[in-house]
Amino acid sequence: MAAADTEKLNNLRSAVSGLTQISDNEKSGFINLVSRYLSGEAQHVEWSKIQTPTDKIVVPYDTLSAVPEDVAQTKSLLDKLVVLKLNGGLGTTMGCTGPKSVIEVRNGLTFLDLIVIQIESLNKKYGCNVPLLLMNSFNTHDDTQKIVEKYSGSKIEIHTFNQSQYPRLVTEDFLPLSSKGVSGKDGWYPPGHGDVFPSLMNSGKLEALLSQGKEYVFVANSDNLGAVVDLKILNHLVQNKNEYCMEVTPKTLADVKGGTLISYDGKVQLLEIAQVPDEHVNEFKSIEKFKIFNTNNLWVNLNAIKRLVQADALKMEIIPNPKEVEGIKVLQLETAAGAAIKFFDNAIGINVPRSRFLPVKASSDLLLVQSDLYTEKDGYVVRNPARTDSANPSIELGPEFKKVSLGDFLKRFKSIPSIIELDSLKVSGDVWFGSSVVLKGKVVIAAKSGDKLEIPDKAVIQNKEVHGAGDI
């Protein structure tokens, strides 16, 4: 490390030691991360050494063995499992102020309701005890504690813990933002979901789970409705003693920026777009060479997590995330859980059906899952078999739908249109939908500037451009 960087680190260490808002574990984790960043430990990939993983490393889902039919065997399998949902995100992109997991998805049920119902029905069916863990951030902790109380009567153990809270760094002098007089939450950030492993350990939850005989944790984003417990995957990992498994799925043109699995120096590794040299970015985005992408559904052995965290061996690639707070340029250093794959023994990917990746990141995704394209049973949101096209329709909504609160977004629909036979939809301008509207084929609805365009009840619009009432 250069002398100037060593001085920066020493100044930062002394400033951080005086911060009373965070624990000693958080302080040392943060300094460790900054030290790695300053020493220029960026992992550059030698493009010529990248190899396509074989079916042994990225296992096709349809080659997995059938699950034992014996209920007692299935119960003993499930009793090894813990489900952990990453619950640190706020619903800001969807006009919400609280945790994203409390947005209503279908039939008045939130993401969290659906997750709880799924695990309850699993526990009831097999007489097992699969607990649910929620990893919150300081942004979602208080709200989640209140929300979890409503499940106190349910037959499921719910545990919550917080991921680390790190100080935002002022870019100019590398000191904590909180030391510049910026108070409250703005001075801090949660350092990405790669922090799940040390946080699980530091919270004491890891030890408690191991003492209950738990062996595997299934980690997934709380907004991925496709991330449900899969017995075939769990059975495969237990039989083959895989310490880590990343679910990947075939890439479409909508997923070109997603990380992919490669073989590199004899190990399976996640390759993210940020690691790709500029001259190879188009190759990375193509769906010919890199055919799969990371769903962020991860299955990890708990004993292996303990071993690697204790040895401080999980040195995932650092993702620098520059921001601006109150006019001050700051830096957040983050890590991603998928990048940990290369540190675990006998790690694999499993190439799963697309149905296991159904994230709700924007209001257009919410429109899809609230429509007749999906049904919900026992907490599982399932694709309607009446849809013959395996791909979902592409939906583009204008700012009147995107840059508003969720309540204002939903007010524009008397009911969500039927889209089973829809290929693509583009909506722009001041558009309002009546009830029982049916959209088919390629539909463009663009209200003229200053006009309010109301789509009447029971309208059927097929392969049409609509600019005014006369076009319907």
- Are residues 452 and 429 in contact, defined by beta-carbon separation less than 8 angstroms? no
Is 193 marked within a binding site?
yes
Q: Which helix (H) or strand (E) element contains residue 161?
A: strand 158-162
Tell me whether residue 223 is annotated as binding.
yes
Q: Has 214 been labeled as part of a binding site?
A: no
DSSP state letters, 251-289: --GGGTTS-EEEEETTEEEEE-GGGS-GGGHHHHH-TTT
Pure H helices in 164-322: 196-202, 205-211, 231-240, 281-285, 302-310
Q: Is 236 annotated as a binding residue?
A: no
Identify residue 434 by its one-letter amino acid code: G
Q: Does residue 399 sit in helix, strand or coil?
A: helix
| E-assigned strand segments in 340-416 | 348-351, 374-377, 380-383, 394-397
**432, 445 Cβ separation under 8 angstroms:** no
Burial (CB < 10 A; 0-12, 13-18, 19+), residue 420, is middle
Task: Flag whether 306 is marked binding.
Answer: no
Q: What is the DSSP letter of 114?
A: H
Q: Angle at Cα 332 formed by Cα 14 and Cα 284, nearest 5°? A: 140
CA-to-CA distance for 138 and 165, rounded, in angstroms? 7
Phi, psi of 151, rounded to the nearest 5 degrees: -95, 10
**DSSP H helix total and E strand total for the chain:** 13, 25
* Residue stretches of the annotated binding site: 100, 163, 192-193, 223, 361
Give binding residues for UTP as ranges. Answer: 100, 163, 192, 223, 361
Annotated binding site for substrate: 193
